Chain A
């Protein structure tokens, strides 16, 4: 073992590791994206492709990423350029690994902005700022925030202040280190998240039926809606959906986002494992924890609550308006109408946005980790220095997201890095770890220190099925989304310059990271040469 490997930090406890890994996976998407996807893609039938994708893509990728991370970590490499370099002795490998620095950094920057909304709404819930607003006013409340006050509800500086606080909290956690920062946050944040979510689910599922007047085809009808109608709406099977390839792709995409695979952050966390630490069972426990948060808790919150107070027609309209409308418009409206008055409504609001904030921050600190470890390991910086650099960069670029949010600046990053890029990273890492490193080496690596034997079926899945699944997914997305998105089909004229600027900034970040990797390897080669000459 090299000095760099011997001096690396390690997880303080197995439960800390699992909670941090699960915290990385459990994010805003578990509570805002999953229910929408289920409702829009066949309800109960969506669960069939969802669980098939979980077994064929989700769990295998999770093990692959844990395996890559540990293989890199025991050789002193905490980010993908170094990990790919040790797995594949080819000069190209480290440059492919740059994707594992680029994706988490880019996603971290805009994710922190969205995360700051949850902190802001926790504050607004506490101060009663959203109390008494009707649907139109609540939507205006969110729009005003996104549009920098717009001279109406919020002050111009409000989004900046919450973004700064959120970013500072993230940087404070990561600079405190692995055990004192990240692990401690997970040990506090994850139990709180589950307690808040469980209490809210209990409250939602015990709501009394509520009379809702819906206008369908010009005819107004009033009927009683209960949370069970919401669950019925969510789980009612539509068998015809299974014939649509888009439903299968949507299910695979949801599994991808929810487990945070293809990002580079899982590998960075796994690099702090010891050589004989268990991967097989711990990885599976992390997946299972995430699925509990998503299917049992996330699936029983927003949709049942919204159907109870707005009926199915209202819930569909809100769901179509996007996940943010679901979380930041509809849910506060629900809390305003909860029986029990101001105290219950305020408590529910604080718990809902509080759990979203914990879901967000436990993911964003993981996204900051690959870039930080890269500077520590390749340029000899300490955590504080690398944290301040990442924080400064995120602050600077985050301002662009705040200012141009409504003109598509964030959309571009979310699509190219946060959606399409993840599939590319996953495909590249699967090829390198399974095919280049070799299926037998991969299998042996996953079983070092394993607390369970992985069924042999998964070796076949990882070798053939997962890569094919990823290739099909990529081709489909290129055809369906990537080309129209690249050509900005249907985008308003006013957004086009901002969207190009957004892409230029992303390409700039990628170019700088490629240069940094080149510099890092030159430094390493020079140092090795010097040592060789001295010897």
Chain B
């Protein structure tokens, strides 16, 4: 592969996979099921 083609391919793959990974990691972190429980004694 030429350098130009390789750069375009890697840039496209990195951008897409990076966005996918970033969004799913954030989703897991903000999933209500994963949120920390309120401190003891806190009324809901």
Residues of A within 8 A of B (CB): 14, 18, 43-45, 47, 51, 228, 231-232, 234-237, 278, 281-282, 284-285, 287-289, 291-292, 295-296, 299, 451-452
B29 to chain A, nearest CB (A): 9
Inter-chain CA distance A51–B1, complex, in Å, is 22
Residues on B with C-beta less than 8 A from A235 are 1, 5-6, 8-9, 12
Instruction: Please tell me if B38 contacts chain A, counting CB pairs below 8 Å.
Output: no
Residues on B with C-beta less than 8 A from A284 are 19, 23
Decide if B30 touches A288 in the complex (CB within 8 Å).
Answer: no
Decide if A237 touches B4 in the complex (CB within 8 Å).
Answer: yes
Decide if B5 touches A43 in the complex (CB within 8 Å).
Answer: yes
Residues on B with C-beta less than 8 A from A289 are 20
14 contacts between A and B (CB under 8 A): A44-B4, A44-B9, A47-B11, A228-B1, A234-B5, A235-B9, A237-B4, A282-B27, A288-B23, A292-B16, A296-B16, A451-B27, A452-B26, A452-B30
Q: Smallest CB-CB separation from B10: which chain A residue?
A: A235
Interface centre among A234, A299, A451 (most CB of B within 10 A): A451
Inter-chain CA distance A366–B32, complex, in Å, is 26
Instruction: Please tell me if B15 contacts chain A, counting CB pairs below 8 Å.
Output: yes
Inter-chain CA distance A87–B7, complex, in Å, is 45
Q: Smallest CB-CB separation from B15: which chain A residue?
A: A51
B35 to chain A, nearest CB (A): 11
Inter-chain CA distance A237–B2, complex, in Å, is 10
Inter-chain CA distance A285–B29, complex, in Å, is 13
B4 to chain A, nearest CB (A): 5
Interface centre among A18, A43, A235, A278 (most CB of B within 10 A): A235
Residues on A with C-beta less than 8 A from B11 are 47
Residues on B with C-beta less than 8 A from A295 are 12-13, 16
Inter-chain CA distance A306–B31, complex, in Å, is 42
Decide if B19 touches A288 in the complex (CB within 8 Å).
Answer: yes
A209 to chain B, nearest CB (A): 13
With contacts A278-B30, A285-B24, A451-B27 known, is A232 near B16, CB below 8 A? no
Q: Is the interface of B mostly helix, strand, loop or mixed?
A: helix
Decide if A236 touches B27 in the complex (CB within 8 Å).
Answer: no
Number of B residues with CB within 8 Å of any CB on chain A: 23
Residues of B within 8 A of A (CB): 1-2, 4-9, 11-13, 15-17, 19-20, 22-24, 26-27, 30-31
Q: Smallest CB-CB separation from B19: which chain A residue?
A: A288
Decide if A292 touches B26 in the complex (CB within 8 Å).
Answer: no
Residues on B with C-beta less than 8 A from A43 are 5, 8
Residues on A with C-beta less than 8 A from B1 are 228, 231-232, 235
Decide if B5 touches A231 in the complex (CB within 8 Å).
Answer: yes
Residues on A with C-beta less than 8 A from B12 are 47, 51, 235, 295, 299
Inter-chain CA distance A230–B9, complex, in Å, is 12
Q: Smallest CB-CB separation from B26: which chain A residue?
A: A281
Residues on B with C-beta less than 8 A from A452 are 26, 30
With contacts A236-B2, A281-B30 known, is A288 near B9, CB below 8 A? no
Residues on A with C-beta less than 8 A from B31 are 14
Decide if A288 touches B16 in the complex (CB within 8 Å).
Answer: yes
Partner of A232, one of B5, B22, B27: B5
Inter-chain CA distance A296–B19, complex, in Å, is 13
Inter-chain CA distance A51–B19, complex, in Å, is 12
Residues on A with C-beta less than 8 A from B7 are 44
Residues on A with C-beta less than 8 A from B17 are 292, 296
Decide if B13 touches A296 in the complex (CB within 8 Å).
Answer: yes
Q: Smallest CB-CB separation from B23: which chain A residue?
A: A285
Residues on A with C-beta less than 8 A from B24 are 285, 288
A21 to chain B, nearest CB (A): 12
Inter-chain CA distance A288–B12, complex, in Å, is 12
Inter-chain CA distance A452–B11, complex, in Å, is 25
Partner of B5, one of A14, A44, A285, A288: A44
Inter-chain CA distance A260–B27, complex, in Å, is 22
Residues on B with C-beta less than 8 A from A14 are 27, 31
Decide if B16 touches A237 in the complex (CB within 8 Å).
Answer: no
B33 to chain A, nearest CB (A): 9
A410 to chain B, nearest CB (A): 31
Inter-chain CA distance A45–B31, complex, in Å, is 38
Decide if B8 touches A285 in the complex (CB within 8 Å).
Answer: no
Nearest 8 pairs between A and B by C-beta? A44-B8, A285-B23, A288-B20, A451-B30, A235-B5, A288-B19, A235-B9, A291-B16
Inter-chain CA distance A292–B9, complex, in Å, is 13
Residues on B with C-beta less than 8 A from A291 are 16, 19-20
Residues on A with C-beta less than 8 A from B23 are 281, 284-285, 288
Inter-chain CA distance A409–B44, complex, in Å, is 61
Known: A47-B12, A281-B23, A292-B16. 20 other contacts (CB 8 A): A14-B27, A18-B27, A43-B8, A44-B7, A45-B8, A47-B8, A51-B12, A231-B5, A232-B2, A234-B5, A235-B1, A235-B5, A237-B4, A285-B23, A285-B24, A285-B27, A288-B16, A292-B17, A296-B13, A296-B16
